[in-house]
Structure 1
Amino acid sequence: MNDDEIQLVAAIRPEASPYDDQARQAARRGLVAAAAPRARGWRPRWRGPYAMALAGALAVAVGATAITLTRAPGGSPGPVEEVVVTMPEIVAVSAGEVLDRAARATVQTDLAPRDDQFVKVESETMYGFYGDEATNAETGEAGGETRYLYRTKRAIWLSADGTRNGVVRIEHLEPKAYPGWPIPESAYERTGVETLPLVNCGKTPDYMRTDHAALKKLPTDVEGMRAHLYTGDRGGNSKDEAAFTAAGDMLRETYLPPAQRAALFKAVGTIPGVDVTERAEDAAGRHGIGVGRVGVGGVREDLIFDAKTYELLGERGIVVDEKAARSPKGSLVASTARLSVTVADEAPEVEITDADRCG
């Protein structure tokens, strides 16, 4: 999961003053782009297969603890809320072994969209939204910091060759409180379903492109794919973190051909810090195994694979450093589920306003 919903969403608040109309439209475009491929915050950044042979090695219990909070980390009073925390258990199975199995399973799916078609991806997402309450109009007092978990069901149509505009349909779901923080009233302002254009401005560097036409030209060997993950300035706190984020971007709301997907999975296993956790759950409630690493802000970011088929299910973000994340250890702060990937001849028609056009 372009910087993935969590980072981009964290930087915007379209509804709050003092945004004017132009700023709101720009923020909306940022939200759509971030939500398209991985609002990143857990990637905060963070945006999502397992065999019977590994079942015995993964039989490790995960503990859960309930705690009560009456005050947000920022110091502002909030309602009493119970937060259940579940720390991921690192298991004695190598990431390379799991990802190798996932790589072998990729041959089962091959969509092969034509350049004049669209890749359509349906998903469910939950990301952290960071912002500030609006300034009090009567007292002039600045609003305090807020956090909540922004949830959606999404369908996105992306041009297979990256030359045409795309479309995203967002169904806003009931938000959830960010663990350790009172949920703000502003969390409920996004409702209903909206269909928005994804205007192609043609400014994405070649090494960061995730359209099918670009992805199908990537290396099919592990060394070449690993070199691609480490190519260019991708941001992040380290090259390793940026490489793992890049891998997620190539899987999230895209279609990566089988040969490149197999190479990518194997390349991810070579990134320092990547290991395996059991009992990972995606946003749709499906259970699998997590392969990931601790990234920025004290959050562990996992790709989730089905425990039997090795199909990629989604992603999740779990707090492992309470101080850095300002949220209880074990808190789930990001979760996605990839529900379907298909090919469409056309994308829905949607009006493109002046505010949507490239600057």
Structure 2
Amino acid sequence: MTATTGTDDGRGGRGGEDDRAELARLLPPATGFDLPPGRHEHHRERLMNQIDHDTAAASGRDRAPARPRLLRPSFLAPVTALALAGALVAGYTAQSGGEGSVRAGGGTSSASERAGDAQPVALVLDRISDAAAKSEAGPVRDDQFVYVRSQIQYGDLTSGTLVTTPLAEREDWYAQKPGPQMQLGLSREDGETLPINPELGDTEGTAPGIGRPTYRWLAALPTDPRKLLDHITALTPKPEDQEHAQAVFDEIGHLVGFKMMPPETAAALYKAAALIPGVTEAPNAVDAVGRKGVGIARVDTHNSWRSEWVFDPETLVYLGSRSFLTADTAYGKKGALLSADAVVKRAVVDKAGVRPQD
């Protein structure tokens, strides 16, 4: 992560960019678990707004108090800075069917129960790919926004132990403008609407790409599954202490779950996922709101978590995902929920902050 020193912002202080640079300097190197790219937007915006608020409050003072050096669990590295805003959030992935894993509603399921009707994952993903190819999603103009309403949960470490937050509604409006942008859209959660800002260090704005996958960028991806997988793998950063294959799997999950793209691109992404080592089917999966469906999963054995995508059993439309620990760790016990989400609605709108008509 790079940070650039800013200039005077006209408020008596040196501006938000200096705060970002100072934050990047104080944070120790990340190790361990990592959030997949693209899942940090909402939390990053909370942090950036908090920094701006703190900077404004400190303007006119002779000397601002020194920022404390942050010590953090390694797998929270991308969002550790949220400690400045009073929150630590665990990453995105999905729940497994392992023995003792958490179901919606608090129940558990055994490995034998979920594995009983498993099929070769390539066949399942081929069916999901065929369904995606028949979708009527898009196109999306450069001046429009992709709207996503979802239900989400996170693993909160504020207390020092992993505690799952209550289910909450979130809305996102993703801008599709070409070229680097300083505002990437809007995000609304708990009644608070915040801008989606560029990644830390992107002082010139964020261009379309793996970190900002616009419809136009997604439409330009190769549709040959092997070439597409190689391309996404090359674009996905290698976490310092996580399986790269897991990061790629989670990246594809984010793209198909929370973005809008041409049907042929979505179909190719599912076939590309079938080529990732370790991907399996997870029958009887459930999303954050308890909808049951067909699951596609992968276990990161290095970090003891399992990611699971959930699809409608009839239409094979993406429903959501779950994440949980597959072994006891310093952060929680086996089966502890790391995160869950359920996509309620996706649509195209002409203005950020405006909901689509149902």
Instruction: State the TM-score, normalized to the length of structure 2.
Output: 0.65
State the Cα distance separating 1:125 from its structure 2 match: 0.7
- From 293, 299, 311, the equivalent of 2:298 is 293
**What amino acid sits opposite 1:292 in the alignment?**
A
Q: Residues 339-354 of structure 1 correspond to what in structure 2 (within 5 A)?
A: 339-348=344-353
User: What is the rounded CA distance, in whole Å, between the counterparts of 2:244 and 2:342 in structure 1?
Assistant: 26
The alpha-carbon distance between structure 1 residues 266 and 218, as it changes in their structure 2 partners (threshold 3 A), is: same
CA–CA distance in 1 between the matches of 2:276 and 2:122?
A: 10
In the alignment, the residues of structure 2 paired with residue 315 and residue 340 of structure 1 have an alpha-carbon distance, to the nearest angstrom, of: 15
**Secondary structure at the residue paired with 1:127?**
strand
Could you say which residue in structure 1 is the equivalent of 2:174?
158
CA RMSD of aligned residues (A): 3.8
Aligned AA for 1:167?
L
Q: Which of 30, 37, 46 lines up with 2:93 in the alignment?
A: 46
Q: Distance in 1 between matches of 2:153 and 2:136?
A: 26
Corresponding residue of 1:86? 109
Which of the numbers 54, 60, 64 marks the counterpart of 1:21? 54
* Superposition deviation, residue 334 in structure 1: 1.7
Deviation string for 1:81-114 (max 9, x for gaps)?
A: xx75434534531111111101110112322111
1:15-53 per-residue CA deviation (whole Å, 9 max, x = no partner) reads 9xxx992499xxxxx87x99xxxx9977x34279xxxxx
Cα distance in 2, alignment partners of residues 47 and 8 from structure 1 = 19
Query: Residues 103 and 272 from structure 1, CA distance in 2 versus in 1: closer, same or farther, beyond 3 angstroms?
Result: same
Paired residues for 1:136-175 under 5 Å = 145-150=160-165, 151-161=167-177, 163=181, 165-171=184-190
Report the Cα offset of residue 255 of structure 1.
0.8
Per-residue deviation, residues 96-141 of structure 1 (Å, max 9, x unmatched): 1111101110112322111111110111111212235xxxxxxxxx
Equivalent in 39, 57, 60 of residue 4 of structure 1: 39
Structure 1 position 101 matched with structure 2 position 117: no
Q: CA deviation at 1:210?
A: 1.4
Q: Secondary structure at the match of 1:108?
A: coil
The 3 A distance-change label for structure 1 pair 170 and 41 is closer
Give the one of 210, 213, 232 matched to 2:213: 210
Q: Distance in 1 between matches of 2:330 and 2:161?
A: 16
SS of the residue aligned with 2:311? strand
- Contact 2:293-2:311 at 8 Å conserved across structures: yes
1:6–1:300 distance in 2 versus 1, CA, 3 Å: farther
Identity, % of aligned positions = 28
State how far apart, in whole Å, the 2-side matches of 1:156 and 1:125 are: 12
The letter of the residue matching 2:274 is G
Q: Which moved more, 1:291-300 or 1:311-320?
A: 291-300
Q: Hey, what's the Cα distance between the residues in 2 that align with 1:257 and 1:241?
A: 24
The 2-side partners of 1:5 and 1:234 are apart by 14
Report deviation, 1:199.
Answer: 2.7
Report whether the alignment pairs 1:131 with 2:158: yes
Q: Are 2:269 and 1:259 aligned?
A: no
| Code of the aligned partner of 1:222 | P
Contact 1:156/1:169 (<8 A) preserved: yes
The answer to whether the 8 A contact 2:118-2:283 is kept is no
Q: Which residue of 1 aligns with 2:320?
A: 314
- Contact 1:292/1:301 (<8 A) preserved: yes
- What amino acid is the match of 1:308? E
CA contact (8 A) 1:278 1:288 kept: yes
CA distance in 2, matches of 1:267, 1:208: 19
Query: Counterpart of 1:259 in 2: which secondary structure?
Result: helix
CA deviation after TM superposition for structure 1 residue 5, in Å = 4.9
Query: CA-to-partner distance for each residue in 1:28-79, whole Å, 9 max, x for gaps?
Result: xx87x99xxxx9977x34279xxxxxxxxxxxx997699xxxxxxxxxxxxx
Partner of 1:219: 222
SS at match of 1:251: helix
Q: TM-score, normalised by structure 1?
A: 0.65
Change in CA separation of 1:330 and 1:148 when aligned onto 2, cut-off 3 Å: closer
What's the counterpart of residue 74 of structure 2?
none
Say which structure is richer in strand: 1
